[in-house]
Structure 1
Amino acid sequence: MAVNMDRGAAGTVEIVINRWSTDAERDRLLSTLMDKGPEKLLDVLQDMPRAGYFRTPDSIGWDVHYARRAPMPDGGERVVLATDRRIGFWEASNRPRSIDYPFTVIELHLNADGEGEGTMSLATKITADKENKMVVLENYGTTPVMLKSVRRERASR
């Protein structure tokens, strides 16, 4: 997938999915979050096999540990990607509030032609609303990056 970011300055994000996460992996993540909380969720996510990666032209990229897609009523699909966020030495040793936002979550909505848009939440806290059985995302001090002009590209083999 190729993505054009539109947040004051345009850029490109390349997202490559090598495999889709299984139902069992999804269920394990959800039950861990609901039963043990976000700290254990991070451990489980980090232990999952790589599902793909995303990168910008000036970076080596980030491994994606969770990649899931679901069909939409219009023939398109919703794609959700999640991974742990890189935390540098200063942040790890000084432990500012941002340390509580260790996830990166990408959500894409693609139409039947494989085109669409999405959001990328770079520093995200994931919690559970047990009463309503929902996953809650909270961004650290910023709004998600808007991903525009998203398009699916099939791998050439």
Structure 2
Amino acid sequence: MSAAEELDAALHWRNKRAQAIRERDALQQRLTEADERVDVLETALCKIKVRLDAYAESDMRMPEPSVEVCQAIADAALKPAEGGGDHAKHYECIGKGGDYTVVAIAQGAGTLKGFNHYVYKNADGVHFVRDPEDFLSRMQIKP
């Protein structure tokens, strides 16, 4: 192989590598944007769910089946995926910082029947409970 052919081959593979890097970077950017979009939609859906739950418990005049359908849609969308899902996300308190993970969304019983609560823990394993609206207004998904 001549020096010119070797140079052509080296340039060819350098260009291929550069193209692969550009494609990888573009895919990574799309993945990052999709992840951010999922976080935004999850937060919005959680807020909708909280409002629907409160609406269903009040004396509002929306037909109950309509509220139940919306609640079922929100519940299905918020259900953790296999392998961790939403429970694997890390949150931080907007005012205090910290590292928290959601352990469960607990359903109330007795006098709290119909009221759901976020059960979450800090890095030391200490558990906390907040109602969903309070949780969503005070906590944010860590970047």
Give the TM-score of the pair, scaled to structure 2.
0.35
Pair member with larger Rg: 2
Q: Which has the higher strand share?
A: 1
Q: Which has the higher helix share?
A: 2
Give the TM-score of the pair, scaled to structure 1.
0.33
